[in-house]
Structure 1
Amino acid sequence: MRHRYRIIIIDDDPITRMDLVEMLQEQGYNVVADGKNGEEAVSLTQLWDPHLIIMDVKMPVMDGLTATGIIKGQSDASILLLTAYSQKDLVAKAKTKGVCAYLVKPVMEEELLPAVETILLEKQSSLEK
């Protein structure tokens, strides 16, 4: 069942991207693409129509919050933000952009997997209605 959901990973750090992809694929998730900035997130979303995007906030070219605003105008993909910052103003801004959850880096598997599972279960419920 996990393999039916398309997931995209966006982070400017290649090691973080690789770790996230590996964690998810080992659990049977379908990571269809990854990219290094918000601009790539927008184009990969148009290409793959993902169910979930896991995206860093602070990136070159286009940050994750800006990309989220664009993506939410074009797609119903759920967005899980990754941040090195747990500032209240950032969390509030993320909520206004339509982010469904965020995790503070470094992201551990025991935090990532329950968050992904919860988001995709909600996605499944909305698709079945």
Structure 2
Amino acid sequence: MRQPYRIIVIDDDPITRMDLVEMLQVVGYDVVAEGKNGVEAVRLTQTWHPDLVIMDVKMPVMDGLTATGIIRNCSNTEVMLLTAYSQKDLVVQAMAKGVCAYLVKPVMEEELLPTVEQVLANR
């Protein structure tokens, strides 16, 4: 049985959110909340104090990079970004904001789960 890590999944696409949550829950991770934009990511992080936020970069209201900066400035929650974009400048910006991992969509279970395990093991 996995250690009960608390994870929040943030993505403006409900199908992507559902797929990520299912991949995480089937192997025993505790997905405590879901959201659709960066504002919700910040609020849910303040409410749930998760170990990890898995978040899209491009979202309405507040993007994932901005939300990451806020989350990392006010908590020790790790943030993993997911995006359909793999431009080097986005990766550099993400790392500067304190992102612990960066995966390009579509994310497959074979990529997601080992990355999540590594991030949480290094906490």
What residue is the counterpart of 1:31 in the other structure?
A: 31
Alignment correspondent of 2:19: 19
Q: Percent identity?
A: 75
SS in 1 for 2:76: coil
User: Tell me, which stretches of 5 or more residues in structure 1 are unaligned?
Assistant: 124-129
Return the offset for 1:3: 4.7
1:4 aligned counterpart, secondary structure: coil
Q: Point out where structure 2 has 5 or more consecutive residues left out of the alignment.
A: none
Mapping of 1:88-127 within 5 angstroms? 88-123=88-123
Distance (whole Å) between structure 2 residues aligned to residue 73 and residue 97 of structure 1 = 9
Q: Deviations over 1:6-62 (max 9, x none)?
A: 000000000000000000000000000000000000000000000000000000000
SS of the equivalent of 2:15 reads helix
Once the two structures are superposed, the pairs formed by residues 21-100 of structure 1 within 5 Å of their partners are 21-100=21-100
RMSD, matched Cα? 0.8
Equivalence for 1:126: none
1:2/1:30 contact within 8 Å kept:
no
Equivalent-residue separation in structure 2 for 1:30 and 1:39 (angstroms): 21
Corresponding residue of 1:127 = none
Q: Return the TM-score normalized by structure 1.
A: 0.94
Cα distance in 2 for partners of 1:3, 1:24 equals 13
Runs of 4+ in 1 over 2 A off after TM superposition: none
Q: Which has the higher helix share?
A: 1
